[in-house]
Every structure is written in C-alpha cells, then in structure tokens.
Chains A and B, each alone.
Chain A
Amino acid sequence: MSATRHPSRVAEAPVLPERGPGPVKVTLTVNGTEHALELEPRVSLLDALRERLHLTGAKKGCDQGTCGACTVWVDQRRTLSCLTLAITCEGREVTTVEGLAEDGELHAMQRAFIEQDAFQCGYCTPGQIMSAVALLEEGHASDDAEIREWMSGNICRCAAYPNIRAAVRAVRDQA
C-alpha cells in the first residue's frame, strides 16, 4: 500500500460549537440589504429567499440541481440556490433577479429578454437571466455553440432556447 502516515495536530484541536438543529439567528446579505432571520440550518437558500424574504424570482423546478430555475449569484458567481444551505451564505453576498434593476431601470439583459421574446411561460426566466448575465461576465458567449454549452445548466420546458440565445447575443453586441 502506498499510503504513508505523518503525525498530526488534530488531537489537540477543540470540537467546534454546534448551531441548530432548531432555528438559529442567520444574517443574510441579499441584493445589498442585510436581513436578520431565524432559520433552521437545513433551510436551503432558495427556500429562505422565497418563503422568508418573499423574493420569489428564483424558482423551484427540481430541488435537486438538475434544472437551473433557482440560479442566483453568491459572491457574484452563478450558483444553484436549491443545493445551497442558507446558513452557509453568512458573510457572502447573494444577488437575485430582483437585484438586477438599478433605479427602476431594467438590466440590459432583462430588456433584451423582452425585446427578443425569450420566454413563454416564464418559469425558467429568472434563472436564465441570472445565468446569462454571468455568462457574459465569464466571457463564454463568443458564438452560438459556446452560448448553448455554457447555458446548458438552465433548462427551458418551453424550449425558448433560440430566443434566449438571441437575447444573449444582443447584450453581448451592445458592449
């Protein structure tokens, strides 16, 4: 066996204090505003946003990481809020689709989704938009093939994909 052992300092380390399982005080920063909540540690970021902060933009499609409807940003990175526990977001910055507009002006991507007719039922749309803005930020929208691949984490049951790509292209080409 190739494994070799070296001594460790773990034995001297104290066991960490435990929070929960009942409700504990959790401070979340969402769209630039701090919220003090009482949450059980098992509560997902998605449920905290929707049920406690009444920010219902992020949607629950599958609750298991397979659809992208719950996409938000944590510290500016697109993240699935259904597989994120709210308590792990303490000290981090959460942005939802409600935080995109500035001074009552829709974000360019939101406008492009309307102009390009990039949704039908609209259920996947907040996730698509959060993903699309991040996509441009990441620089993964050089052509349609790249947009398709890097947007594949957002499923659209209505198959509005061509129009979603058109919206992404429109914002990309404005820049």
Chain B
Amino acid sequence: MRPISYSRAGDVAGAIATVASDPTSDFLAGGTTEVDLLRQNVMLPRRLVDINDLPLTQIEDRPDGGLYIGALARMSDVAEAPTVRERFPLIREALVLGASAQLRNMASMGGNMMQRTRCAYFRDAASPCNKREPGSGCSALDGFNRGHAVLGVSDHCIATHPSDVAVPLMALDARIHTEGPRGRRVYALDDFFPEPGDTPHLEHPVEHGELVVGIEVPGMPAARTSLYLKVRDRESYEFALASVAAVVPMTDGVIGDIRLALGGVATKPWRARRAERILRGAPAGREVFERAAFEELLPARATPLNAFKVELARRIMVRALETLTGTRSPS
C-alpha cells in the first residue's frame, strides 16, 4: 500500500476546505471502500481526511413523516433505529441484508452512497477499465461478466451498482444533501447516480471536496408495509445478483402510488418506472404483475453469462408484488 498522510477533521468546513485544497485528498469515513481500494492500488489518494468526528450521525424524524439520516450514521445504527424499523422496513431490510455485522458497524450511510463497483476488472489495477482509467477499454464486455448489469449499460461500462440501501432510497425518492467549496446542494437520488454512458468514470455529479452531509427520505405512510428482497449466490455476506424494493399502497384491491426499484441488475439503483406505470391504478393480480415485470426488463442488454438476471429480476418483482398484496399462492 502506498504511503499516505492523514488529517482528522473536527468540523465540516475544515474537512471540505482541506480536501478541496488538494486534488489528491479523499474523505475517509468507515474506510470499508477507501482502505480496501487503497490497498488494491485502485484509489490513489496522497492524503486522507478523517471525517468520523464530524457531528453528522443523526437519525431524525421529519415533520412530513420522513427521515433525515446524517452521512456518518452507521448502517447498523440506521437499521436498529425504531423509527426506521416501524416506518421504513424496506430500508432496514436492505441494510441488514448487506455486508456483515462488522462492516455495518463501520460503514457510514454517506460512504455507502459513494461506494465503488465490485467489478473485478475495476478492482484489479492491471486490467483495462474505462471507469478507473478513461479510454483504456472495458475488460468486462468480453470477460467474466456474470455479476454485471443488464439495465442502464453502455458500450463503455456494464458495472453493477453494488449498494443495497440505495435501492429502497431510490424507490422512496430520497434526496442527497451535500456541502462543498461552493455551498450546500440537494440532489434527487436519480440525479446523484448517472448512467455510465461514455463517461463511466463520472459516478456522481459532485465536485472534488463536496461532502455528503445527509440523506433525506420524504414521508410515505404506505412504506410501513414494504419489503426488500435480495437474491444472491450464498445466503448471507454477499452482494445481490438481483434485488427489489417495493411499496404497494392498495385501495379496494386497486394499486395506488406504487414504488418499485431494482438492485444488482443495473448500473445505478434502478427505479422500475415502466412497471410502476403499468401497475398504478390496476387491480392487483398475477397477470398484471407479470406483464409489468416483463416490460421493465424489455430494454435489458445481457451477455451470455448474465442473461439469467433478466428472468431472475422479473421473478423477484412478481414475488415481491404478490407478497405485499397478499395474492401470493402458497407453494
């Protein structure tokens, strides 16, 4: 691992000023991405600015019934918070199904939004990779790409977005609050995670030195009944092959303001808008669920190795919808 220097920040302005002053500085939160990739020579900062002492650990109720989660709240603390358990079970489930108990104690919510892809070629500093080294090519296109994305892909990058909790946050229209050298900003989550296009190295709209300070989740009473379903190669301590976050409000058997998002299959936390359009206002039932899931995956672009994800994503969407609407036949 290359040598680095270290500063510990005591206040937000100092942390930002320090990172902004030097293009080779990075923020350090839980370190579960940063230290890992530093050791792999994938991230090459000269200096780390430790932000763990900043007062950004709040998990607060908002007057609209929503939440505000500080960037340094740990995944484990957010998962255990009574208000999250009661009002946003899909957020809790996505958190406890991610990583391991130790990693969740370390990993911060802000760091989770900023984590990097698990694409093996990205993590191997010797392989060509457009995300790590713009213009060098994408080793995954013709490589081992079983875990890669089928939605939102481009000819330049097919890396899967790895976060679990970003999936329910996408379904709930969460917003990212930042503070940077040029002031405070608020981003819709959808804008915070652009598709790779021909610039896969640009993963977020933030500028260097811009600090994520918190995540705002708007109130949604229907989210009290919601779920996050995750399918993976082993039962625990593994990233998703496919996952779905769902909130399905119903009145007299008719679907209301439904929220559906997919993980593990796309280059960003994927809002299933095609499916939502078909389902909104429709009577709940297997047929319309299957049609919605089918339509959502129509734009999928798969490789021979990851083609199974198309069907897998459809099936877990149907399963989540049946479970939440109580139409699932016992099997």
> Which A residues lie at the B interface, using CB under 8 A?
1-22, 24, 40-42, 44, 63-66, 68, 71, 77-80, 83-85, 87-88, 90, 131, 134-135, 138, 140, 148-155
B102–A68 contact, CB under 8 A?
yes
B81 at the interface (CB under 8 A from A): no
A84–B14 contact, CB under 8 A?
no
B106 at the interface (CB under 8 A from A): yes
CB distance from B105 to the nearest CB of A (A): 4
A80–B102 contact, CB under 8 A?
yes
Closest to A20 in B: B5
B18 at the interface (CB under 8 A from A): yes
B144 at the interface (CB under 8 A from A): no
B186 at the interface (CB under 8 A from A): yes
B32 at the interface (CB under 8 A from A): yes
A5–B13 contact, CB under 8 A?
no
Contact of A80 among B8, B106, B175, B235 (CB under 8 A): B106
Taking CB atoms, residues of chain A closer than 8 Å to B182 are 5, 8
29 pairs of residues in contact across A and B, judged by CB atoms under 8 Å: A4-B185, A7-B183, A8-B180, A8-B184, A9-B13, A10-B13, A10-B17, A10-B180, A11-B181, A13-B14, A14-B17, A16-B7, A16-B9, A16-B18, A17-B7, A40-B3, A41-B5, A42-B1, A44-B35, A80-B102, A83-B31, A88-B8, A90-B8, A140-B101, A148-B236, A150-B101, A152-B100, A153-B99, A153-B102
CB distance from B237 to the nearest CB of A (A): 4
Taking CB atoms, residues of chain B closer than 8 Å to A131 are 101-102
Q: Which of B2, B8, B20, B205 is most buried by chain A, counting CB atoms within 10 A of its CB?
A: B8
> Which B residues lie at the A interface, using CB under 8 A?
1-9, 11, 13-18, 20-22, 28, 30-32, 35-36, 38-40, 46-50, 52, 76, 99-103, 105-106, 175, 179-188, 191, 205, 235-237
Closest to A88 in B: B50
Taking CB atoms, residues of chain A closer than 8 Å to B21 are 15
Taking CB atoms, residues of chain A closer than 8 Å to B8 are 16, 88, 90
What number of A-B contacts does a CB cutoff of 8 Å give? 160
Taking CB atoms, residues of chain A closer than 8 Å to B52 are 88
CB distance from B5 to the nearest CB of A (A): 4
B11–A10 contact, CB under 8 A?
no
B101–A64 contact, CB under 8 A?
no
Main secondary structure of the interface of A (DSSP, over half): loop
Alpha-carbon distance A8/B14, docked complex (angstroms): 12
B102–A71 contact, CB under 8 A?
yes
Q: A2-B186, A6-B184 are in contact. Are A16 and B49 (CB under 8 A)?
A: yes
B14–A79 contact, CB under 8 A?
no
Contact of A83 among B18, B36, B76 (CB under 8 A): B36
Alpha-carbon distance A77/B11, docked complex (angstroms): 24
A2–B191 contact, CB under 8 A?
yes
Q: A5-B183, A12-B13, A131-B101 are in contact. Are A83 and B6 (CB under 8 A)?
A: no
CB distance from B164 to the nearest CB of A (A): 14
Taking CB atoms, residues of chain B closer than 8 Å to A149 are 235-236
CB distance from B231 to the nearest CB of A (A): 16
Taking CB atoms, residues of chain A closer than 8 Å to B18 are 15-16
Q: A4-B185, A8-B184, A13-B11 are in contact. Are A68 and B1 (CB under 8 A)?
A: no
CB distance from A106 to the nearest CB of B (A): 23
A8–B181 contact, CB under 8 A?
yes
Contact of A78 among B49, B102, B183 (CB under 8 A): B102
A3–B185 contact, CB under 8 A?
yes
Alpha-carbon distance A153/B234, docked complex (angstroms): 12
Alpha-carbon distance A83/B115, docked complex (angstroms): 14
CB distance from A94 to the nearest CB of B (A): 14
CB distance from B185 to the nearest CB of A (A): 5
CB distance from A40 to the nearest CB of B (A): 6
Q: A20-B3, A63-B39, A83-B36 are in contact. Are A8 and B101 (CB under 8 A)?
A: no
CB distance from A109 to the nearest CB of B (A): 16
CB distance from A59 to the nearest CB of B (A): 14
B4–A21 contact, CB under 8 A?
yes
